[in-house]
Structure 1
Amino acid sequence: MRRPLLAFAFSLVCSSHAFALVGNATVVRTAAVGRHIVMIVSTRGNLCTGTAIARDLVLTAGHCVAPPATYRVFLPGIAPPGLPLKSVVVHPRYNPKDYASGRVTADVALLKVDGGLPAEILPAAIATPSTVAPGDRFVIAGFGSTVANSDTGQGTPRAAVLIATGKPGTLQIRLVDPDMRGERAGLGACTGDSGGPAFINNTGSYSVIGVVSWSTGPANTAGCGGLTGVTPLTLHRAWIEETARKLGSPLAP
């Protein structure tokens, strides 16, 4: 059973608690992959993950920022109230009703940070469109919970290697723990990881191929640690590039 992965935990973030990928994921606070991601927090109390793709531009999921609210960017070392935003642009084809009912939609958004991101945050390039096959490996990263239905581990950047399963395409990619295959509890995105990246690892250089949108528990139950659903950027790359130009935010090469 699919579930969205935004966390309602603003008070926890402000009190320096942390978010992380469910399971035994790797802490990446200072590693290259960890320097690409940020937390996104709203006045409604929800938390998601985003990826820097320019010095002042963050890529995230549309469902993370579609509700009317004020959003700010946080990362370890940035105290409340965080970094303000100049603008929030949700993909025009994102449909919240489709998302809520489990149908595929353009679950993508861009956030322009007022004044830019700190120097320790490194923009990631958008991956060149390519065909994804079952068994292909990807790195997901985020600040979400390490235990389903819990705030355990929240706020710490973590990453894990997952593989594509099923019939990946341009509308959706499903990822699983390579050992558990989605049948038993394993690594995967969890609450607070929504909007985080699915990276291609090019010998230590990471490019983002998609945005984390949802998860299931093992054997398609509710929760985390089964499937991780990713919205690939192939069909949305042109919109991202055009919107970045309009916002005056040169994308990472």
Structure 2
Amino acid sequence: MKKLTLFFAFLFLAACQDGGFDAAQTGSAANKNTATTEAKNTSNTSIIGGIDVEPGSDISRTVISFKSLVKPLDTQVGSQNVVVTQCTAAALTRRVVLTAAHCINAENQSFIELNTGVTVTTIPVLKAVIIDEYHTDPTADLALAVLSEDLPENIITVSIPNPDMKVELATLDLIAAGYGKNTDVVAAAPGSTLKDGLGTLRVVILKISFYEFAENRFMVDQSSGRGFCQGDSGGPAFFIHNSKYYVMGVASKTIAPEGQTDASTGHCSFRGAYVNLLKFKKWIEATTQTLTAELASPPNSEPVSESSP
């Protein structure tokens, strides 16, 4: 699932066994949460097949807009629109956010946007760490980004579930949200005015179609026309358990039916691949701890993008 470039070009997304989970059923507890209830009120007409999320809601405080400049800002002065890529993220701490590796621009500034419905706040990324495995295996599409300042207190942080949690994957409602397209049609040419809904947070409920604890990614069924699409890269697939938010996956890639040759449509309406965060839980937690410790050192004024140690 490649990042989507706003304004000038459209790119494709570059966006069951229960593994370590116990087979006990806990779906009813999650369904009582307002975020899950909100996500279930979906329609087929308007992530694709989902609904717009209101600023201030639980989901809007959990899912973050993640962008990167395509070119240095000083080269875009005078342009009508600043050209950026649109991705999505979620917060692990007040300073560390989780996203897809392919959303990180190694050369130009990345930043997040927080929209309250009245104001939009921008926070730059100081440093990004891409998991080493991604350089040899694109299915390990995972990165952590350190922000230049703390997130507001109202932002909801997420956790990676423990492998022994009593969750039944076959019936689990995954809340998928992102700032990507709401149509499964690609613009005919760069600069097209196709209304694709980029930059608006949407949410939908998805089901896991295949999961293996040892695999780098798991699949969700998007054949009903509901799921993530361009611009949703890096977005979380999460659930609520005992009033706590757990993220199972990071949106990585959409998969078209085998043999499909027409790239103009249908690339988000078959299957979606999420990075399996249970597989990478130890790396995420260890790297988050290291990055948090580094924040106690003198701040680095220059944005840095690097691989993990």
Residue aligned with 2:149, SS:
coil
Q: Residue deviations 1:160-185, cap 9 Å, x none?
A: 111111354432210114xxxx2xx4
CA contact (8 A) 1:56 1:114 kept: yes
Equivalent residue for 1:212, pick from 251, 257, 272: 251
> Which of 125, 139, 149 is the aligned partner of 2:159?
125
Higher mean C-alpha deviation, range 127-136 or range 145-154: 127-136
Q: Distance in 1 between matches of 2:292 and 2:154?
A: 21
TM-score (norm 2): 0.65
In 1, distance between residues paired with 2:172 and 2:258?
A: 21
Q: Of the candidates 103, 106, 116, which is equivalent to residue 64 of structure 1? A: 103
Aligned residue pairs total 227
Matched, 1:196 2:232: no
Please state how far the C-alpha of 1:53 moved relative to its aligned partner: 0.9
Please give the alpha-carbon distance, in whole angstroms, between the structure 2 residues aligned to 1:5 and 1:75.
23
* Alpha-carbon distance in 1 for matches of 2:212, 2:171: 10
Distance 1:218 1:24 in 2: 21
Counterpart residue type for residue 31 of structure 1? S
Aligned-residue CA RMSD in angstroms?
2.8
Within a 5 Å distance, the mapping from 1:52-91 to structure 2 comes to 52-65=91-104, 67-77=106-116, 79=120, 82-91=122-131
Query: Aligned equivalents of 1:203 and 1:89: distance in 2?
Result: 31
What residue in structure 1 maps to residue 197 of structure 2?
153
Residues 90-239 of structure 1 correspond to what in structure 2 (within 5 A)?
Answer: 90-95=130-135, 98-99=137-138, 104=139, 106-129=140-163, 133-148=169-184, 149=186, 152-170=196-214, 171-177=216-222, 182=223, 185-202=224-241, 205-217=244-256, 221=260, 223-239=267-283
Q: Which has the larger radius of gyration?
A: 2
1 CA distance for matches of 2:176 and 2:293? 24
Q: How has the CA–CA distance of structure 1 residues 108 and 151 changed in structure 2, closer, same or farther, with 3 Å as cutoff?
A: farther
Deviations 1:131-154 (A, max 9, x none): 874453311111111012255222
Q: Give distance in 2, aligned partners of 1:133 and 1:79.
A: 36
Q: Aligned partners of 1:67 and 1:151: how far apart in 2?
A: 29
The amino acid of 1:176's aligned partner reads: D
Provide the C-alpha distance between the structure 2 equivalents of 1:245 and 1:24, rounded to a whole number of angstroms: 35
Give 2:32's aligned residue: none
1:107-130 per-position Cα deviation (integer Å, ceiling 9, x unaligned): 110011101112332211222225
**Hey, what's the Cα distance between the residues in 2 that align with 1:217 and 1:135?**
24
Question: What residue number does 2:5 align with?
Answer: 8
Task: Note if contact 1:188-1:215 (Cα within 8 Å) is conserved in structure 2.
Answer: no
Secondary structure, aligned partner of 1:33: coil
Q: In 2, Cα distance between the equivalents of 1:237 and 1:10?
A: 36
What is the CA–CA distance in structure 1 between the aligned matches of 2:52 and 2:243, rounded to whole Å?
15
Ranges in structure 1 where 5+ consecutive residues have no aligned partner: 13-19
Alpha-carbon offset, residue 26 of structure 1: 4.8
What are structure 2's unaligned runs of at least 5 residues? Answer: 10-45, 71-83, 187-193, 261-265, 295-309
Q: How far 1:205 moved relative to its partner?
A: 3.5
Q: How far off is 1:5 after superposition?
A: 4.9
**Which residue identity lines up with residue 57 of structure 1 in the other structure?**
V
Query: Percent sequence identity over matched residues?
Result: 27
Given that 1:53 and 1:123 are in contact with CA atoms closer than 8 Å, whether structure 2 keeps it comes out as yes
Query: Cα offset for 1:11?
Result: 7.8
